[in-house]
Amino acid sequence: MPMELITTLNGIWFLLAGIFLVGYSLTDGFDLGSGILHIFTKDEEIRLTNMNAIAPVWDGNEVWLIAGGGMLFAAFPIVYAVSFSAFYLAMFLVLWALILRAVAFEYRNKKDSPTWKKWWDIAYWIGNIVPAFLFGVAVGNAVIGIPIDEKGVFYGNLFTLLKPIPILMGFVSVFMFLIHGVAYLLIKTEGKAFEFAKKAAIIGFVGYVVSVAVADFFIIALKSELFNNFFDYPLFWIAPILMIIGVFLYFKWLVVDEKYDKVIYASSITITGTVLTIALASYPVFIRSTIDEKYNLTIWNSSSSDLTLTIMLVSTLIFLPIVIGYTTYVYKVFKGKVSAKGGYGH
């Protein structure tokens, strides 16, 4: 492992950025995955049960998204500025999708009308699928590169971002969140909702494996240099090995052993390995330039001053454990099975 990852402020903050990204994927990932399922069943009991399963925690999970954005703004302001400029329309779509999801959650059950619920169900699904898909598209574009010049000016539009590899990574992201979402539902539900989650877990697992294999095939064919870091720094192999272990355990506990309460540990390992694999493949670059490599935004040319990074590091060491402790407490309070009766929106 390159020493600068753990011996310099820039390297430490690169690792922290990865932790925030993993934290968001693990928490908001399962409620997005649960929401993606929503439109694939017409059973009202299953839909209500799945919504009640995430009701106490879904909005709190977005703390990681806000915290990550704040971290990027303070630690790597140039990356923040360029990404919010280049991905402006994509982020605008994500923002509206998240608002739509929240409104659908609040209003779906306010009126006992099939038409009313039908439209809010579609809105709720859009509010989950769009952020899940664009999360992968955005990460994919940052890794393979976008047309930015030496001043970070982006030469393109929303369609510039819709290239094959980022789109494939969008599908990886959707299936990654889906397998995590159904793993959560396997813990929280029973009866019809539980049986539905089991079937969805198998479909999601196949989708994740296939999408990762196809994305890797195209990356090897078109951007094989992204694998160089794993040969230059052998310890980086820890991340893809974690991903493979997670996939193996997911299949074993779901299909072979039928230990459904453990599947979420496997999906968590898979997500952690997937996110870290992408981050370490890109190291030390945050956003790659397709115009010229010297315009790449790295941990060295896009960070704040050492003083700012030091102050933020102290603050993070104080507040990050509080956030983790609060999150753990919330999940402990709301542990146990849920049903379609009672709960949020009733």
Residue 204's nearest CA partner among 234, 169, 247, 161 is 247
On whether residue 273 sits in a domain, the answer given is: yes
Amino acid at 336: G
On whether residue 339 sits in a domain, the answer given is: no
**pLDDT tens per residue across span 329-339:** 988 888 888 98
Q: Is 142 exposed, middle or buried (0-12, 13-18, 19+ CB in 10 A)?
A: buried
For residue 214, CA distances in Å to 25, 201, 290 come to 21, 20, 23
Structure tokens at 76: 């790597």
On whether residue 337 sits in a domain, the answer given is: no
Question: What span, in angstroms and rounded, lies between the C-alpha atoms of 144 and 230?
Answer: 16
Structure tokens at 61: 């999970």
If you ran DSSP here, which 8-state letter would residue 291 be given?
Answer: S
On whether residue 96 sits in a domain, the answer given is: yes
The answer to whether 105 and 343 are in contact (CB under 8 A) is no
On whether residue 343 sits in a domain, the answer given is: no
DSSP per-residue string spanning 52-106: HHHTTTHHHHTHHHHHHHHHHHHH-HHHHHHHHHHTHHHHHHHHHHHHHHHHHHH
pLDDT tens for the chain, 346 residues: list them: 676 776 788 989 999 988 889 999 999 999 999 999 999 999 999 999 999 999 988 888 888 888 888 888 999 999 999 988 888 888 899 999 999 999 999 899 888 899 999 999 999 999 999 999 999 999 999 999 999 999 889 998 888 888 999 999 999 999 999 999 999 999 999 999 999 999 999 999 999 999 999 999 999 888 888 899 999 999 999 999 999 999 999 999 999 999 999 999 999 999 999 999 999 999 999 999 999 999 999 999 999 999 999 999 999 999 889 888 988 898 888 888 898 875 544 4
Amino acid at 185: L
On whether residue 48 sits in a domain, the answer given is: yes
SS (H, E, C) 11-41: HHHHHHHHHHHHHHHHHHHHHHHHHHHHHHC
Q: For residue 17, what are the domain limits?
A: 3-332
Q: How many structural domains are present in the chain?
A: 1
Question: What span, in angstroms and rounded, lies between the C-alpha atoms of 112 and 191?
Answer: 24
**pLDDT tens per residue across span 196-246:** 999 999 999 999 999 999 999 999 888 888 899 999 999 999 999 999 999
For residue 122, CA distances in Å to 37, 115, 116 come to 11, 11, 10
Name the β-bridge partners of 146: 289
Amino acid at 76: F
Structure tokens at 328: 């753990």
Dihedral (Cα; 265, 271, 273, 274), 10-degree rounding: 160
On whether residue 57 sits in a domain, the answer given is: yes
| Residue partners of 137: CB distance under 8 A and separation at least 6 | 90, 161, 162, 166, 167, 169, 170, 173
On whether residue 342 sits in a domain, the answer given is: no
The answer to whether 247 and 268 are in contact (CB under 8 A) is no
